[in-house]
Structure 1
Amino acid sequence: MDTIVNPIVERSLDEIKFWSRIMKEHALFLSLGFTFEQQQLIDEAQQFITIFERIEERLSRFSINTDLRQIQAFNYEVYQAAAAIWAYKRKVLGLILRCEIRTNNFPLLVDHISREAAYFANRLRELNEGVLAPRPEAIIEENVFFLRIMADHAKFIGHLLDPSERKLVEQAREFSHDFDQLLFQAVDLDSMRPQSETGPLLSQFLNQNKVSVASLRDFKKTARELIEACRIKSNIHPLLADHTFREAERFLEIIDLFEASLMNNNLNTSIQINH
């Protein structure tokens, strides 16, 4: 007899696996951007690397057949770690904006990674509340979040490439512009609710985003390969190139989940109408 898998357990493990690695890498990137006199901030970043490495190690002990209560307890522990690194990132951002420290970390990058920490913490909280799939209105909000992330990535890539890499810099700027426009479009669609919550508009919106994200994902993949082969000039760490590529892949997976959720909602609506 097949064991019934609790979708909350399965989704929780997937979120923690993906985002804990992201949080660990954020701490590494911050530490690499600090100057030698900012040792305390470097030490704090190293502590977060250790925290999320331990979370990854503990994660390997769980499976999709683990009891829900155990997963909820683990979710809460990881939630606390995500909230703590969010607070650390916001502290660093405040120090930069008040000109109390000078680092090689862009203020927008620190804000960017703090938004991702908040997103991770919020997902864990939602899962512990039993929220698996977003409602239609939340689909737009989550796309706003990820479209902004993708737009930021394009900006970072453009700024970290050597100016002599003119063609790649121009491509990054074009992606930045395209995703800014998609973001504005998503904000407009969000303000048109509830009329936009169902029907073809939302499906068209997701499909358009999928095409653009896939194109950016391919650009990031090419850039990652060129950086790893030392074939382009940049200040981009190879791990950072891979990091942004994985986040684009994640967004595509989430769009697929949204499309499946919309399809199920439309099917259920059709069945109700027919009855």
Structure 2
Amino acid sequence: MSDAFVARSLDEIRFWSRIMKEHSLFLKLGFRCEDTQLINEANHFYSLFESIEHRANAFTVGTDPNVIRRFNEEVHTAVSYIWVFKRKVLGLILRCQLPGANNFPLLVDHVSREANYFRNRLTELNLGRLEPLPDAIIDENVFFLRIMADHAKFISHLLDPSERKLVEQANNFSQEFDQLLFQAKDLESMRPQSQTAPLLDQFLDQNRVSVKSLRDFKRTARELIEACRIKSIIHPLLADHVFREAEHFLFIIDMFENSLTGKPVQAINQFG
């Protein structure tokens, strides 16, 4: 369905182009002042994805699908370039060539995984080959549960150590989502036998409960940071960034649940 293809493409690009733009800023803030080349590259990607975000917002569901297909290809190229940049930065950090910089290796790996996810989604959309629903449910949850576990770890490490209660809560979420990820990987290795409606439904229900709790924790942390009521080195935009990603994961879970139970919603796993 051409309308579904256009709508899904625009939804993905609007969400993820903003995420890529913000990744550029966060990486830039973590570089040393002497890393001028890396800072300039980060600034370039910030401007590039800001432009893509604005262009995506200017399109409508009624836009010619061929125009959107070409736009997807253009965005795919941009995402490929920022993925290469992120992996280059990770290599520099792991080879100890950026001593004193403030980007965690796991954070750089994290943002590169999100770029790769975005790039793959654009390819799938243009080929019209999104995964069947049972596979998509497992694969999307494996991806996002790891993202959520990473977020909890970053929050724990960026809070001031004196914020003992919040650090403890963040560490508890980290452990909870590590366990959920292990369970998802078990379900993944058991497929296709594990892909029954009751098991997948329970899988979604369990994850939804935990993601909502983490989402609420992130919302509270964001509000406290914006009001300067806690001690941390978390940028307010980063607090909002991780909150929005939890909201996005909840939206995906709900869409899967609706499709799995046959509720009348737009198909999320395929296009005609």
TM-score, reference length from structure 1: 0.93
CA RMSD of aligned residues (A): 1.3
The equivalent of 1:68 in structure 2 is: 65
The equivalent of 2:269 in structure 1 is: none
Q: Is the contact between residue 5 and residue 64 of structure 1 (CA under 8 Å) also seen in structure 2?
A: no
The equivalent of 1:227 in structure 2 is: 225
* Matched position secondary structure for 1:232: coil
Aligned counterpart for 1:128 among listed residues 123, 126, 129: 126
Distance 2:187 2:41 in 1: 41
Q: Tell me by how many angstroms 1:139 deviates.
A: 1.5
Aligned counterpart for 1:174 among listed residues 154, 172, 194: 172
Distance 1:162 1:193 in 2: 42
* Matched position secondary structure for 1:65: coil
Are 1:51 and 2:48 matched, yes or no? yes
The equivalent of 2:202 in structure 1 is: 204
Which amino acid is 2:120 matched to?
N
Question: Identical aligned pairs, as a percentage?
Answer: 71
Which amino acid is 2:195 matched to?
E
Aligned counterpart for 2:141 among listed residues 143, 162, 167: 143
Q: Bigger relative contact order, structure 1 or 2, given CA contacts below 8 A and separation 6+? A: 2
Distance 1:71 1:224 in 2: 35
Distance 2:8 2:31 in 1: 35
The equivalent of 2:267 in structure 1 is: none
Q: Tell me by how many angstroms 1:153 deviates.
A: 0.2
The equivalent of 1:269 in structure 2 is: none
TM-score, reference length from structure 2: 0.94
Q: Tell me by how many angstroms 1:135 deviates.
A: 2.9
The equivalent of 1:23 in structure 2 is: 20
Specify every segment of 5 or more residues in structure 2 that has no aligned partner in the other structure, as ranges.
264-272
Q: Is the contact between residue 30 and residue 105 of structure 1 (CA under 8 Å) also seen in structure 2?
A: yes
Distance 1:224 1:57 in 2: 25
The equivalent of 2:260 in structure 1 is: 262
Distance 1:54 1:139 in 2: 32
Q: Is the contact between residue 7 and residue 132 of structure 1 (CA under 8 Å) also seen in structure 2?
A: no
Are 1:250 and 2:268 matched, yes or no? no
**Greater Cα radius of gyration, structure 1 or 2:** 1
Distance 2:18 2:135 in 1: 29
The equivalent of 1:268 in structure 2 is: none
Distance 1:58 1:14, change over 3 A: same
Q: How many residues align?
A: 262
The equivalent of 2:184 in structure 1 is: 186
Specify every segment of 5 or more residues in structure 1 that has no aligned partner in the other structure, as ranges.
266-275
Q: Tell me by how many angstroms 1:81 deviates.
A: 0.7
